[in-house]
Amino acid sequence: MINASDRRQAVELIKEAVDSGAALYKACAELGISKRTYNHWKNTDSDYIDKRTICARPEPANKLTKEERQEILDICNTEEFASKTPSEIVPMLADRGGYIASESTFYKVLKEAKQLTHRGREQRKHKRPISTHKATRANQVWMWDITYLNGPIKGMHYYLYMFSDLYSRKIVGWKVWESEDAKHASELVKRIYRDEKIYIRNMQKEPLVLHSDNGSPMKGTTMLETLYALGITPSKSRLRVSNDNPYAESLFKTLKYVPNFQPQGFATLTEARLWVKRFVEWYNNEHRHSGINYVTPSQRHMGLDQEVLRKRKEVYEKAKERHPERWAKGTRAWSFSEEEWLNPRQEAETKKEAKGS
C-alpha cells in the first residue's frame, strides 16, 4: 500500500502538471496511477490515509469459535491422533458421528498454532507414476513384492512376501521367510488362492491378474508354473523401472513408517511374523486408506464401503444444517469409486483405443 505522504506528493505533482497545461490522464500515467485513483486521493477526507488500514472489519459469519479451535488442537494432540494427518482424523471423527471442521480448517488451525509439521516418521510424499491394469471389484488384480526386515545382527534379514488387492488395497496374504525363493511364493499364492476362493471366479472365466516386478522369485519357473496351473495371469513391471509396482512399494513404506516398527531388527523369525501379523490386522481393519476415500481395506473388500460413505455423508449434511454459513461450496462428496487403475496414463490410452475401435 502507498503511504499517506507519497499520496499527498503525487496529488500535488499531478495538480501542478495540470495547472501548467498537461493532460490529466498523461500526468497520472507518468506516476503509474489512473485518473480514478487520482480523484479518489484528491477527494479523500482522511488526510490521504488509506482507509483500508483503519476501517473496522466484521468477523466472518463462518469463523470458528475459540472453543472449537481449542477442541481441534486437543483432538490432534491426543495419543490416538498424534501421528495421523487431518485427512485421516476428520473422516474417523465422522465415522463416530462427530464433525468439527473440514480438513483444510484443521490444517489452518494447526499452522496458526505452529503445530503443522510431519505427524509421523515419513518424509514428504511424492507422486509416482502407476502401472497397467484396471479393477472394478475385489480379486480382479493383485500386486505383490518382497521386502527386507532387519534381523538380529547387521547384514542378516528376514524376507516379507506380501500380496495385496488393487481394488480394495487389502493385504490378502503374507508370510515371512528366511530366504527369497520362488517355492515360497508358490506356496503362498496357492494358500491365498484357496482362502479367497478364486477358483470359483476362474470357473466363471474371470481370470485373476497378478502384478509384480522382475525379481527372480517373481519369474522363477516354480512360481510361473503355479500361476498357469491356477489360471492366474502374470503381469510384470518394465525392466529397470522401479515405480511400475507403486502400490506394493507404498504398502511397504506404510509398514516401515508406523510408530512401533522395529528398525533395529527382529530377534527371531517368530518375532518378525508376530509383528507383521499385528500390522496386517491393523492395516486391513483399522487403517483409513487415502486411496479409497478413507475407508478400511476390509470394508472395501467386502463391499461395505458404499454404506460407510453414505453414513459419512449424512453426518456432513447434519453438520451443514447446524451451520449452513460454513458450507458455501456444499458438503464433501465422499464419492464411491467404481474402478481402480495401476496407471492413469494407461487408463487414458485404453479409453482412447476403445473409442477409436
Mean pLDDT of 39-61: 74
| 169 and 284 together in one domain | yes
Alpha carbon 88 to chain centroid, angstroms: 9
CA distances from 217 to 133, 169, 213, 283, 289 (A): 21, 22, 10, 25, 29
Q: How many structural domains comprise the chain?
A: 3
Q: What pLDDT, on a 0 to 100 scale, did the predictor assign at position 32?
A: 86
Structure confidence at residue 145 as a pLDDT band (50, 70, 90):
very high
* 349, part of any domain: no
- At which of 293, 323, 350 does a domain end? 293
Reduced DSSP (H G I as helix, E B as strand, rest coil) percent helix, strand, coil of the chain, to 5: 45, 10, 40
| 170 and 268 together in one domain | yes
| 142 and 286 together in one domain | yes
Mean pLDDT of 152-173: 94
| 156 and 199 together in one domain | yes
| 43 and 90 together in one domain | no
- At which of 248, 273, 293 does a domain end? 293
The neighbouring-strand residues paired with 160 are 147, 176
3-state secondary structure 310-321: HHHHHHHHHHHH
Q: Using alpha carbons only, how large is the chain's radius of gyration in Å?
A: 30
Q: How many other β-carbons are positioned within 10 Å of the β-carbon of residue 346?
A: 16
| 43 and 70 together in one domain | no
Q: What are the grid coordinates assigned to 11, written together?
A: 496529488
Q: Output the CA torsion sign for 6, 12, 13, 18.
A: positive
* 354, part of any domain: no
CA distance 38 to 42: 6
Note down the domain range covering 21. 4-53
Beta-sheet strands, E only, within the chain: 134-135, 141-150, 157-165, 171-177, 209-212, 233-236, 340-341
Q: What pLDDT, on a 0 to 100 scale, did the predictor assign at position 129?
A: 44
Q: What is the pLDDT of residues 312-350, one digit of tens each?
A: 999 999 999 999 998 888 888 888 888 888 865 655 555
* 246, part of any domain: yes
The residue with greater pLDDT, 119 or 101, is 101
**Residue for grid cell 518382497:** 146
| 76 and 33 together in one domain | no
Q: What is the pLDDT of residues 242-276, one digit of tens each?
A: 678 888 999 999 999 998 888 788 999 999 999 99
* 154, part of any domain: yes
What is the CATH number for 222?
3.30.420.10
| 107 and 211 together in one domain | no
| 172 and 284 together in one domain | yes
Helix (H, G, I), strand (E, B) or coil at 151: coil
Q: What is the pLDDT of residues 221-232, one digit of tens each?
A: 888 898 888 888
| 165 and 249 together in one domain | yes
- At which of 293, 314, 337 does a domain end? 293
* 316, part of any domain: no
* 317, part of any domain: no
Q: What pLDDT, on a 0 to 100 scale, did the predictor assign at position 262?
A: 80
Q: What pLDDT, on a 0 to 100 scale, did the predictor assign at position 62?
A: 86
Structure confidence at residue 280 as a pLDDT band (50, 70, 90):
very high
* 34, part of any domain: yes
Q: What is the pLDDT of residues 201-223, one digit of tens each?
A: 554 567 889 998 888 888 888 88
Burial class (CB in 10 A: 0-12, 13-18, 19+), 286: exposed
Structure confidence at residue 133 as a pLDDT band (50, 70, 90):
confident
